[in-house]
Amino acid sequence: MKSVTGRPGRPLKCRVVAGIDKLRAPKGTRDILAPDSARQRHLVDRFAAIVESAGYGQVISPMFEDVAVFSRVGESTDIVTKEMFAFTDRDDPPQHLALRPELTASIARAFVQHRPTAPWAVWYEGPQFRYERPQAGRYRQFMQVGVEVLGSADPLADVDTIVLAQEFFDDIGLTDTSLMVNSMGDEQCRPAYLDAVRGHFTEHAAALSEQSRETLAKNPLRVFDSKRPPDQPIIDTAPSLVDHLCADCLAHFDDVRSALDRLEVDYVLSPRLVRGLDYYRRTTFEFIAPGLDTAQNAIGGGGRYDGLVEQFGGPPTPGVGFALGVDRILLACDAADVFAAPDDSADVFIVDVVGGVEASVLSQQLRRAGLVVTRGFDQRSMKAQMKLADRSGARVAIIIGEQELSDGAVTVRHLRADSDQHAVPYPDIVSHLQELFR
Ligand code: AMP
């Protein structure tokens, strides 16, 4: 450990890597390179097209917020207590900020700040940050897409969001996902349920894992999140939420379920699905990809959070939404062999052995004509540039050499089939290639 000077008078203690060439992306983060980056963007584009066709408008909110925004999502929630990247800035007095671990809280904060007309149906995309123990499908920076509807208590708003997620999975070819559905009750019926669950886990506390005993003291519902083997039989025999719902919550849940049936959306009733955040009320749901390991097979989830907006000082406003994990969805697509990375081959590679601006002018013309054009630089040898042309996946190479320059033509060489080549007069090259790629 070496000390690095931070703000004047405040040494910033951090680990310093021996050599600058040893620097790597931080633990739990990744560089996503082409063509995977294009695949991720394409996935987000498909999501945007689907939710925008349903009238949801995009919200782009800050990647960091006042830490108080996230404390609202639940003081006994791991993502707030253990996993937040929180820091102070250089203001005097310093502001307490945190990289966002999720987006629902930011959307609720934005709703109170801007007072849009309700119902407010929005979507978002972007990275989230959680200080988790990294493993396959679990990162410290990961990408989510999601929707929220604020200002509607209608069970059909719950169904609208669920159906959109389902449409999206179908659209990208991920047709084997399972939808798990539960109701968490509300402030009327949940306290009695909490008592029943607390009683059950307390009765079996000796058999619970140590971590779950600690969790039980803070919030008995969080014990359901445990995947530790000793906890499983005790979780399996715990009282079920749906048996404790009050009449209103039961009616809401019945409406959700019958609409899903009517829309032919398959789901599994999951009485132990409590989800990791404290703000949920009534409907909760999760999408599971069977092709992934159980530790990271949840590819998205959401639910209703009536009451959250009030915690931000807003008027009573019901809300419902979901977030999907893009990184995991892509892993699930790999496992199901669907939604392949797009072909990132070039159409044309320009081999420039003379230098000068000719190749740049031709690249510009061909790109303007809609072709994907890449080119050689540095007047490398013909052989070296032809190697690059092959590697680029281009269908044709265009060669600009001394001879070509003096003839006012270029050589077009086909790279994929036979290596047929012919001269094309310079003025005809754009129309020639447009014809070829039509
Ligand atoms: P949550 O906001 O916890 O409900 O998460 C919604 C979805 O985001 C999950 O179902 C996962 O697909 C994804 N997700 C959550 N945490 C991570 C993480 N650390 N790394 C990758 N994906 C994550």
Q: Would you state the pLDDT for residue 5? A: 47
- Residue 301 half-sphere exposure toward CB, CA atoms < 13 A: 21
Are 58 and 145 in contact by the 8 Å Cβ rule? The answer is no
Decide if pLDDT at 182 tops 90.
Answer: yes
Tell me the mean pLDDT in the region 21-39: 95
Distance 156 CA to ligand 1 centre (A): 25
Q: Would you state the pLDDT for residue 9? A: 53
Q: Would you state the pLDDT for residue 403? A: 87
Task: Return the CATH number of the domain spanning residue range 29-189+245-336.
Answer: 3.30.930.10
Q: Would you state the pLDDT for residue 2? A: 46
Q: Would you state the pLDDT for residue 1? A: 41
Tell me the mean pLDDT in the region 111-116: 97
Question: Which of 144, 145, 280, 286 to mutate for ligand 1's pocket (most ligand atoms within 8 Å of CB)?
Answer: 144
Nearest one of 338, 337, 375, 343 to 356, comparing CA atoms = 375
Tell me the mean pLDDT in the region 135-163: 97
Distance 171 CA to ligand 1 centre (A): 21
What are the tens digits of pLDDT across the range 342-375? 998 999 999 999 987 999 999 999 999 999 999 9
Q: State the CATH class of domain 348-436.
A: alpha beta
Binding site membership of 74 for ligand 1 (Cβ less than 6 Å): no
Nearest one of 344, 255, 404 to 38, comparing CA atoms = 344
Looking at the DSSP assignment, which residues form a beta bridge with residue 396? 348, 414
**Greater pLDDT, 406 or 262:** 262
What are the tens digits of pLDDT across the range 52-61? 999 999 999 9
By alpha-carbon position, which residue is closest to atom 11 of ligand 1?
Answer: 325
Decide if pLDDT at 423 tops 60.
Answer: yes
What is the per-residue DSSP string for 196-238?
Answer: HHHHHHHHTGGGS-HHHHHHHHH-GGGGGG---GGGHHHHHTS
Distance 129 CA to ligand 1 centre (A): 10
By alpha-carbon position, which residue is closest to atom 14 of ligand 1?
Answer: 325
Q: Would you state the pLDDT for residue 276? A: 64
Binding site membership of 158 for ligand 1 (Cβ less than 6 Å): no
Closest atom of ligand 1 to 134 CA is 19
By alpha-carbon position, which residue is closest to atom 18 of ligand 1?
Answer: 138
Q: Would you state the pLDDT for residue 8? A: 53
Assess whether the previous peptide bond of 318 is cis (omega < 30° from 0). no
Q: Where are the alpha helices (DSSP H) in 93-237?
A: 104-114, 155-171, 190-203, 210-218, 232-236
Distance 148 CA to ligand 1 centre (A): 16
Of the ranges 117-121, 173-177, 251-255, 270-274, which one carries the lowest mean pLDDT score? 270-274
Mean pLDDT, the chain, integer:
91
Map out the domains of the chain as residue ranges: 29-189+245-336, 348-436
3-state secondary structure of 185: coil
- What is the spatial order of strands in the sheet that 348-352 belongs to? 373-375, 348-352, 396-400, 409-414, 421-425
Distance 83 CA to ligand 1 centre (A): 12
The rounded distance, in Å, linking the Cα atoms of 414 and 170 is 38
Q: Would you state the pLDDT for residue 259? A: 98
By alpha-carbon position, which residue is closest to atom 15 of ligand 1?
Answer: 325
Binding site membership of 102 for ligand 1 (Cβ less than 6 Å): yes
Among residues of the chain, what percentage have pLDDT more than 90? 74
Binding site membership of 73 for ligand 1 (Cβ less than 6 Å): no
What are the tens digits of pLDDT across the range 264-290? 999 999 988 876 667 889 999 999 999
Decide if pLDDT at 85 tops 60.
Answer: yes
Binding site membership of 132 for ligand 1 (Cβ less than 6 Å): yes
CB atoms within 10 A of CB 115: 11
Q: Would you state the pLDDT for residue 45? A: 98
Of the ranges 86-90, 250-254, 278-282, which one carries the lowest mean pLDDT score? 278-282
> SS3 letters for 321-358?
EEEEEHHHHHHHHHHHCCCCCCCCCCCEEEEECCCCCH
**Greater pLDDT, 190 or 93:** 93
